[in-house]
Amino acid sequence: MKRSYLIKIVPPWGYRVFRLEFTPKHGLFALALFAIALSGVGGYYLYNLRHAEMRVGELRNLTDDQRERLKKIDDQASALDSELRALEKQNDQIRKLIGADSKKKTRSGAASVPMRDDRQSLLPTTGDFKQVAARMENLRTDSLRVRSDGDHLRTVALRVLNMRRLEDLARARVLAAIPSLNPVDGQIASTFGWRSNPWPEFHKGVDLEAGYGEPVRAAAAGTVVSADWDGGYGIKVDVDHGNGYHTWYCHLSRALVRPGQYVRKAQEIAAVGSTGASTGAHLHFQIILDGTAIDPQPYLNGVPARVLAQLK
């Protein structure tokens, strides 16, 4: 007799009974189906789990890559920020050199982008990218402003330096036209003012010791008015310096310049002699300011301080 099993199912309503009869083969078949289904579900779950782990790994790699890129961008922004600070410092130095207003616009700057290192967020947040974008925009704006400011300052600096150069040249010309050296580098033998030797008179210049034929240099730049005999002065050279000053070089043995000639400061213009009312070889040096003879002694070793103080 074939062995079998019987399962009766009695519903809670009615009187009908359901019977389910199966043999051990049927049970084994059902168990096999259950095992196959269970293995299928388990395999599908394991496949999804493995795929998820791979996806997580890819996202982590992508996160590290993006963080590295953000860090590089942040480093570049820091370097640019340092360059801009250096340019601003350079611009301030130019302002100080030209005497311009040293006040500058406050730079907006941009803080470093904080790089997150927590694993709760697999990717840098939107805020990170927004901060990077904001910082780069601020740096771009600052760069344009600072570079434009620098170009403008350089243009102004060149103009100012040119003006100062012209002023220096003008001042140099003014100074060059003021008597400020000893024409023969000799000691004073007779001073400016009243004297009794060799005869009583008001001495309108100074007598400088010098040997016969020694060169005589112009005490300042100017134009020769005369270079000829002038009575008791003997051979005399008169130089007009164009600023109210005239210098006379008297008792010369010969003149090396002619009227109308322009002479530079320290240029050789004559030779020492003893012509005219002279008792021996020397140079009579005389300075006339606005038609009046003045004491030449303060002018023998540079422009007097009181004269410099009057210059603009």
Distance in Å from the first CA to the final CA of the chain: 142
3-class state of residue 168 by DSSP = helix
Interval 178-195 mean pLDDT:
93
Lowest mean pLDDT across 37-46, 98-107, 178-187, 263-272: 98-107
Do residues 207 and 163 touch, judged by C-beta distance below 8 A? no
Is the pLDDT at 269 greater than 90? The verdict is yes
With tokens 């004073």, the residue in question is: 188
**Secondary structure (DSSP) of 3-57:** --EEEEE--SSSS--EEEEE-HHHHHHHHHHHHHHHHHHHHHHHHHHHHHHHHHH
Is the pLDDT at 161 greater than 90? The verdict is no
Amino acid at position 47, single letter: Y
pLDDT in tens, 278-294: 989 999 999 999 999 99
Residue 174 CA to residue 287 CA, distance in Å, equals 17
CB atoms within 10 A of CB 22: 13
Do residues 271 and 236 touch, judged by C-beta distance below 8 A? no
Q: What pLDDT, on the 0 to 100 scale, is given for residue 14?
A: 64
Is the pLDDT at 275 greater than 50? The verdict is yes
Is the pLDDT at 107 greater than 70? The verdict is no
CB atoms within 10 A of CB 183: 26
Is the pLDDT at 143 greater than 80? The verdict is no
Residue 190 CA to residue 284 CA, distance in Å, equals 9
Q: What pLDDT, on the 0 to 100 scale, is given for residue 106?
A: 47
pLDDT band with cut points at 50, 70 and 90 for residue 246: very high
Q: Percent of the chain scored above 70 by pLDDT?
A: 87
Residue 103 CA to residue 269 CA, distance in Å, equals 55
Q: What pLDDT, on the 0 to 100 scale, is given for residue 1?
A: 54
pLDDT band with cut points at 50, 70 and 90 for residue 122: very low
The pTM for the full model equals 0.52
Left if phi > 0, otherwise alpha if psi is -120 to 50, otherwise beta: which for 77? Answer: alpha
Interval 185-213 mean pLDDT:
89
Q: What does each C-alpha distance from 242 to 134, 247, 253, 289 come to in angstroms?
A: 66, 11, 26, 11
Nearest residue to 183 via CA among 89, 276, 285, 102: 285
Q: What pLDDT, on the 0 to 100 scale, is given for residue 296?
A: 95
pLDDT band with cut points at 50, 70 and 90 for residue 113: very low
pLDDT in tens, 29-43: 888 888 888 888 888
pLDDT in tens, 203-242: 899 999 999 999 999 999 999 999 999 999 999 999 999 9
Nearest residue to 257 via CA among 285, 289, 215, 295: 215
240 CA to centre of own chain: 45
Nearest residue to 269 via CA among 225, 231, 230, 209: 225
Query: Average pLDDT over the chain, rounded to whole?
Result: 81
Enumerate the domain spans of the chain: 75-176, 188-310
Architecture of domain 188-310: Distorted Sandwich (2.70)
